[in-house]
Amino acid sequence: MEHKFDLIVVGCGIAGLATAVSAAESGLKVAVLERATIEDRGGNTRWTEALMRMKNETEVADDLEDHFMANSGFHLDPSLVQEAGDSNENRSAIVRSLGFTDPELISTLSSEAGKALTWLKKFGITYSDMPTYLITQSTTRLMPVGGGWALVEALVKAGENLGVKFFYETTAVKLIQSEDGTVCGLQASSNQTRSIRFMGKVMLACGGFEGNQEMQALYYGAKSRYIRPIARGGYYNKGEGIKMALGIGAAPCGDFSEYHAEPIDPRSGQPEPIVFVFPYGILVTTAGKRFIDEASNTVDAIYENIARLINELPGGVSYVICDQKLDLVPNWQRTVRSDQKPITADTIEELANKLGIPSAQLVETVAQYNKATKKGNFKPLELDGLCTEGLTPPKSNWALPIDQGPYRAWPISSANCFTFGGLRCNSNAQVLDTDGRPISGLYAAGETMGLYYGKYTGATSVMRGLVFGRLAGQHAAQK
């Protein structure tokens, strides 16, 4: 069986849908292949609030570019970094294919984000700075009303109105190339047949590999055994798009050894069952010992690093312990999205027994922490400098003693929001080969495009998929 289109989009999240709709607006005949059922369509986008690092609907946050470039790679050759300041066509092959956060991509993201948000408005999307689970923040954020679900539904409707054809329960398997290496289609399978050929240019917007245990073990090692996708959409992301492109000579980009981590309650089956209350308590291992400064900064700036450290602990789990003074924090309930109740006890000894932690050690840990706290002005919604003294590790803010029962605790493990490793692309979302040259007929966006190193620049994943998906659709229509 064979289908012919101008553009085949693999994936039905924000990146794929932005590509499909923008290409169809330009008159292209477009197909979207979605591995999931129609009920589960939308990838990770469907399950996210889709926060965007913007200060308003037209301007990105002031710290966006600086944060990206501070996390652009590790021990980069300074001479190559200097060369990266030139335009892409004037760079050497080494720099064009270099695995790092390309400043040209970040500049494009910054300049095009406002245009992309404005574009979405014509499909009925509106924006709000309504309260989220982040009750303390270090930057500005905006979100579409209705979150990622609203984006998926609006763009699917727009695509259908423009004649985009959707193929559900259909999985891309292999890229098809012409004799000169141009990507001219792909082979796919569905619940009806193992072999379907879709001919046309290809956009890979099928996510990362957070739903692939083998790939995670390959890149993350033993620590991957404790990681699960943050929401249902992530289970569909099995990395075929990345593997297919690497298999025909695409250059890798993004940190293949890391992922965007969030701290969740492992008992919960809810989408994104986050536990962000730890800055107002203490975090302990299964041995009952503290291991990190729980409040070195606002929660949005530290939760990823803490989630990654938790994944390195025995069993990949930690416990956050709070007392009744947690109720001094306005709206703290917004920071916990688990459907499971906290473990409670009248004494620390009883709590330790319920958690399976050595009680003598937890009692000692809490006593040492309480002894190191000091009097001061507790300001729960801002960095208050209320810190411990003489304690290792310290607690830098919100360090109230834990001495008023009943006590409560939540288990925390690390969830994989999305993987960092992907494909090297230019600012038109064209996939580049290992010499930094565009692979004709092949695009990538969203998680499939590698971009992140070190620390995730929060609230930019949906923006990235939206911006580069839209640009890819426009570029495909011009060629």
pLDDT in tens, 44-93: 999 999 999 999 999 999 999 999 999 999 999 999 989 988 888 889 99
pLDDT of amino acid 227: 97
Residue 456's Cβ-count burial label (10 Å; 0-12, 13-18, 19+) is: buried
Tens-digit pLDDT profile for residues 260-288: 999 999 999 999 999 999 999 999 999 99
Q: In the numeric block, which tokens belong to residue 261? A: 């981590």
- Which of 35, 59, 192 minimizes the C-alpha distance to 117? 59
350: number of Cβ within 10 Å: 16
- Measured CA to CA, the distance from residue 322 to residue 275 in angstroms comes to 12
Tens-digit pLDDT profile for residues 14-35: 999 999 999 999 999 999 999 9
User: Using an 8 Å Cβ cutoff, are 130 and 144 in contact?
Assistant: no
Residue 240: what are its φ and ψ, rounded to 5°?
-60, -40
Tens-digit pLDDT profile for residues 421-472: 999 999 999 999 999 999 999 999 999 999 999 999 999 999 999 999 999 9
pLDDT of amino acid 87: 83
| Residue for token pair 């289908």 | 3
Complete DSSP assignment for 362-418:
HHHHHHHHHHH-------TTS------SS-SS---S------SSSEEEEEEEEEEEE
Q: In the numeric block, which tokens belong to residue 128? A: 């709000």
Average pLDDT for residues 120-146, to the nearest whole number? 92
pLDDT of amino acid 468: 98
Tens-digit pLDDT profile for residues 345-393: 999 999 999 999 999 999 999 999 999 999 999 999 999 999 999 999 9
3-state secondary structure of 134: coil
| Residue for token pair 């710290």 | 63
Residue 197, beta-bridge partner list: 2, 187
Of the candidate ranges 12-21, 131-140, 320-329, 417-426, the one whose mean pLDDT is the lowest: 131-140
User: Using an 8 Å Cβ cutoff, are 280 and 332 in contact?
Assistant: yes
Where does the pLDDT of residue 344 fall: very low under 50, low under 70, confident under 90, or very high at 90 and above?
Answer: very high
Asked if pLDDT for residue 192 goes beyond 90, the answer is no
* HSE-up (13 A, CA, CB side) for residue 51: 16
| Residue for token pair 């390309």 | 102
- Measured CA to CA, the distance from residue 234 to residue 216 in angstroms comes to 13
User: Using an 8 Å Cβ cutoff, are 101 and 65 in contact?
Assistant: no
Q: What is the dihedral of CA 250, 253, 258, 259, to 10 degrees?
A: -90
DSSP 64: H
- Which of 186, 163, 144, 178 minimizes the C-alpha distance to 11? 186
pLDDT of amino acid 90: 87
Tens-digit pLDDT profile for residues 195-228: 999 999 999 999 999 999 999 999 999 999 999 9
User: Using an 8 Å Cβ cutoff, are 439 and 202 in contact?
Assistant: no
Q: What is the pTM of this model?
A: 0.96
Give how far the C-alpha of residue 424 lies from the chain's centroid of Cα atoms, to the nearest Å. 18
87: number of Cβ within 10 Å: 7
Share of the chain above pLDDT 70, in %: 100
* Per-residue CA distances from 306 to 164, 340, 389 (Å): 42, 21, 21
Domains of the chain (ranges, CATH numbers)? 2-258+420-478 (3.50.50.60), 261-415 (3.90.700.10)
225: number of Cβ within 10 Å: 12
- Which of 359, 424, 463, 388 minimizes the C-alpha distance to 101? 424
- Measured CA to CA, the distance from residue 17 to residue 187 in angstroms comes to 20
Q: What is the dihedral of CA 437, 440, 442, 446, to 10 degrees?
A: 40
Q: In the numeric block, which tokens belong to residue 83? A: 């060369």
- Measured CA to CA, the distance from residue 306 to residue 321 in angstroms comes to 15
| Residue for token pair 């083998």 | 214
Start-to-end CA span in the chain (Å): 27
3-state secondary structure of 11: coil
